[in-house]
Amino acid sequence: MRVVVSGGAGFIGSHLCRRLLADGHAVLAVDNLVTGRRDNVADLAMHPDFHLLEHDIVQPFDVDGPVDLVLHLASPASPSDFLRIPLEILEVGSTGTRRMLDLAHRKGARFLITSTSEVYGDPLVHPQPETYFGNVDPTGPRSCYDEAKRFGEALTMAYRRMHDVDTVIVRIFNTYGPCMRPDDGRVLSTFIHQALTGQALTVHGDGSQTRSYCFVDDQVEGLLAAARSGGAGPYNVGSTEEYTVREVAELVIEVTGSVSPIVTMPLPAERSGDPQRRQPDLTRTAAECGWQPRVPLAAGLAVMVDAARRELHGA
């Protein structure tokens, strides 16, 4: 297949490109590097079937030749971006998504959008099935991201209904692994960086809020399973291993062997409305995509810590 991956130089996108190439596909990554890094795909630069087009997908563009699959991942995704670049997030989720849908429509390609567990907001139903409509604050600091993703889902369904585009929506839950930016503000990248550099691990609030953490290799497999399934979704893709933030801090200390202390601090402003609990219900994804996560958190963390150590030492 020839696959176009928007956001292909980002954290999840770069792993996805690598996997697609290993499976024998040709890959065109389109990325403006707003939160991605050229380094993430540096090892692919010489691959004959890989090309990186540095472009903002909000601006018009076209691709020569046939395209079989469009994987639309482009979007800043870290809460630290929500106050910094909210307009860019809204634009890529709306106009950017439309440009990628137009591309899939022109080429007759299947289209996959990476939506998010954030469409459930601070959920009142636990765990969250795809049938839950969510509890989203439409004006809070997270709204630029949550509502852009909800709009992207609606746009995707409109293209499916109006133009017969073969679409699938995936709702990604918290994902971690090598290639996350150490300063992206997300909990695991932050804790690992703090633990490896002798700084205190900064738990927000009392640390009783939970997330369920999916290793990136599992996530990539889940995205490809959803793409292959032929279904429309939405499909939750994430891990059901649920941890409090405090438990995660303790696990990072254990895996790194760090002597850093764990401290608590007030929730930062951009985090107001922080979801208290999050765990995917994977019943539909397992039944329709035949996928389930495999990598336990401690094992995935060990891989991520190794990669973070190498990056710190400039390797």
Q: According to the binding rule CB under 6 A, does residue 293 interact with ligand NAD?
A: no
Pick one of ligand NAD, ligand UDP, none as the site partner of residue 241 (Cβ within 5 to 8 A by kind).
none
Residues of the shown chain interacting with ligand UDP in the complex, contacts defined by CB under 6 A: 79, 174, 186-187, 190, 202-204, 209, 211, 245, 271, 274
Residue closer to ligand UDP, measured from CB, 167 or 256: 256
Assign 265 to helix, strand or coil. strand
- Helices 11-22 and 216-229, axial angle in degrees (round to 10): 60
Nearest approach, Cβ of residue 276 and ligand UDP (Å): 8
Q: Which stretch binds ligand NAD (CB under 6 A): 1-9, 155-163, 243-251, 252-260?
A: 1-9
CA atoms 252, 258, 264, 270: torsion sign: negative
Distances (CA, A) of 116 to 145, 202, 228, 293: 9, 25, 19, 17
Q: Which stretch binds ligand NAD (CB under 6 A): 10-18, 98-106, 266-274, 295-303?
A: 10-18
Maximum CA extent, the chain: 58
Select the residue interacting with ligand NAD from 128, 174, 189, 190 (CB under 6 A): 174
**How many DSSP H helices and E strands does the chain contain?**
10, 13
Assign 30 to helix, strand or coil. strand
Q: According to the binding rule CB under 6 A, does residue 58 interact with ligand NAD?
A: yes
Active site residues per annotation: 145
Q: According to the binding rule CB under 6 A, does residue 146 interact with ligand NAD?
A: no
Select the residue interacting with ligand NAD from 172, 192, 223, 253 (CB under 6 A): 172
Q: According to the binding rule CB under 6 A, does residue 239 interact with ligand NAD?
A: no
Select the residue interacting with ligand NAD from 13, 79, 222, 300 (CB under 6 A): 13
Q: Which stretch binds ligand NAD (CB under 6 A): 2-10, 160-168, 193-201, 255-263?
A: 2-10
Assign 168 to helix, strand or coil. strand
Contacts 24+ apart (CB under 8 A), 125-134: 126/277, 126/279, 127/240, 127/279, 127/280, 127/281, 128/236, 128/278, 128/279, 128/280, 128/281, 129/236, 129/281, 129/283, 129/284, 130/171, 130/233, 130/234, 130/235, 130/236, 130/281, 130/284
Nearest approach, Cβ of residue 211 and ligand UDP (Å): 5
Q: According to the binding rule CB under 6 A, does residue 7 interact with ligand NAD?
A: yes
Site for ligand NAD in 64-103 (CB under 6 A): 73-77, 92, 96
Nearest approach, Cβ of residue 61 and ligand NAD (Å): 10
- Single out the residue of 235, 243, 220 nearest to residue 282, CA to CA: 235
Nearest-angstrom CA–CA distance, 157 and 147: 15
Q: Which residues bind ligand NAD (CB under 6 A)?
A: 6-7, 9-13, 30-36, 56-58, 73-77, 92, 96, 114, 116, 172, 174-175
